[in-house]
């Protein structure tokens, strides 16, 4: 075969197989491109749905894209940022989550009343206070004090008589570090609207403290009610039996860390203590009462230590938002606090009512239906 013939034969063979070579070349290029794409995909950071918008997208807030953070793991919010601020600790009660309240350290003769060393002088002013924001300090007051003004403060003083505002009035007062001895009277030693009682020793009267509406009692000792022979009075340490300015109002009472004890003995006329706490729906429903971390004294002459405001025999039989928590009930000589038990007339099914972490003085739990 001549060189010319051999050349023609090679050209003819390449022409016949050109399609095959073309397909091989294209396949090689496609395979190379696929390898590059797969390699980039394996090394690219995963997209994050929490990331800020990336370049080339439209931010609906209208923010400058140059100011945005780039997509990727660095833009992911931290877990704490996603769930928001950590809530502040709260006091937990009941359900085994809170320790039982202490059975000691409650108010008594040593830590309530006029502070030791206070020099008292006789009060010579009016027994009806009509000046707003007046302060009476370190006085012995030998009369019944009627508050007919706003913001009155009586402190480090002893009142031999009753103290109170009248019902359905805007008058208000604070009694602090003081003593009230109402003597023998068929009424409350202290009452009844817009009042704050702090670290005070309250005794005498048929009831230590009567709350018509808007009452706060803290760190105080309610005791020593007076029952004359032959009187059929019903006594108590704390009484609420009205709900404020109208039947649609609320009691709004707060009792925190007090010693509350109706300690008078019954007499032959069937007079005596009803309860330490008497919430009665006589003239309006009982509503919004908080009784927290108090000591309830035992007395076999008392019916129940706590009446919780729910009673079918009352004109207003239902109570709501009555919170009774972290209190200590003395067992007393019969082991029941009162003659019949620690509590009556409390419903856990009414709106806002709560009975939690109440104990006997040995730490055993007290239920709302004991």
What residues does each domain of the chain span? 3-54+61-75, 121-360
Q: How confident is the model at residue 14 (pLDDT cuts 50, 70, 90)?
A: very low
Rounded alpha-carbon distances, angstroms, from residue 103 to 295, 327, 333: 8, 9, 17
> pLDDT digit string (tens) for 111-159?
999 999 999 999 999 999 999 999 999 999 999 999 999 999 999 999 9
Tokens of 94: 């009941």
Q: How many CA atoms lie within 13 A of 21 on its CB side?
A: 6
How remote is the C-alpha of 261 from its chain's centroid? 24
Lowest mean pLDDT among 17-26, 55-64, 279-288, 303-312: 55-64
Candidates 310, 304, 313; CA nearest to 336 is: 304
> pLDDT digit string (tens) for 79-117?
223 233 333 333 433 444 678 899 899 999 999 999 999
What is the residue whose two structure tokens read 């080339």?
A: 56
How far apart CA 100 and CA 357 sit, in angstroms, is: 6
Q: How confident is the model at residue 369 (pLDDT cuts 50, 70, 90)?
A: confident
Cis omega before residue 268 (within 30°)? no
Question: Which CATH number applies to 121-360?
Answer: 2.160.20.10
User: Directed axis angle between helix 18-43 and helix 3-16, to 10°?
Assistant: 50
Q: What does the pLDDT read at residue 266?
A: 95
What is the residue whose two structure tokens read 């009230």?
A: 180
pTM of the model: 0.74
């Amino acid at each position: 075969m001549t060189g010319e013939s051999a050349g023609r034969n090679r050209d003819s063979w390449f022409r016949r197989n050109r399609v095959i070579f073309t397909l091989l070349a294209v396949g090689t290029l496609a395979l190379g491109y696929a390898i590059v794409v797969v390699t980039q995909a394996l090394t690219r950071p995963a997209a994050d749905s929490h990331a800020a918008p990336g370049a080339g997208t439209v931010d609906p807030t209208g923010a400058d894209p140059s100011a945005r953070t780039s997509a990727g793991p660095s833009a992911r919010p931290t877990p704490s940022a996603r769930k928001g601020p950590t809530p502040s600790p709260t006091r937990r009660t009941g359900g085994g989550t809170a320790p039982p309240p202490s059975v000691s350290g409650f108010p008594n003769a040593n830590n309530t009343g006029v502070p030791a060393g206070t020099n008292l002088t006789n009060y010579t002013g009016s027994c009806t206070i009509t000046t707003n924001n007046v302060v009476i300090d370190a006085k012995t007051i030998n009369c019944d004090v009627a508050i007919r003004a706003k913001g009155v403060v009586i402190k480090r003083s002893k009142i031999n008589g009753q103290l109170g505002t009248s019902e359905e009035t805007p008058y208000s007062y604070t009694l602090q570090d003081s003593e009230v001895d109402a003597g023998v009277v068929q009424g409350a030693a202290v009452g009844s609207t817009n009042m704050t009682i702090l670290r005070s020793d309250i005794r005498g009267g048929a009831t230590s403290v009567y709350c018509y509406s808007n009452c706060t009692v803290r760190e105080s000792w309610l005791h020593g009610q007076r029952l004359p022979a032959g009187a059929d009075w019903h006594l108590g340490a704390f009484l609420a039996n009205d709900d404020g300015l109208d039947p649609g109002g609320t009691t709004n009472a707060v009792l925190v860390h007090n010693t509350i004890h109706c300690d008078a003995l019954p007499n032959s006329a069937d007079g005596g203590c009803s309860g330490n706490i008497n919430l009665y729906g006589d003239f309006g429903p009982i509503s919004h009462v908080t009784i927290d971390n108090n000591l309830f004294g035992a007395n076999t002459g008392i019916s129940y230590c706590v009446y919780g405001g729910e009673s079918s025999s009352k004109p207003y039989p239902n109570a709501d938002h009555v919170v009774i928590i972290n209190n200590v009930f003395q067992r007393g000589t019969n082991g029941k606090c009162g003659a019949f038990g620690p509590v009556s007339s409390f419903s856990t099914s009414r709106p806002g009512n709560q009975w939690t972490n109440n104990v006997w003085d040995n730490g055993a739990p007290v239920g709302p239906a004991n």
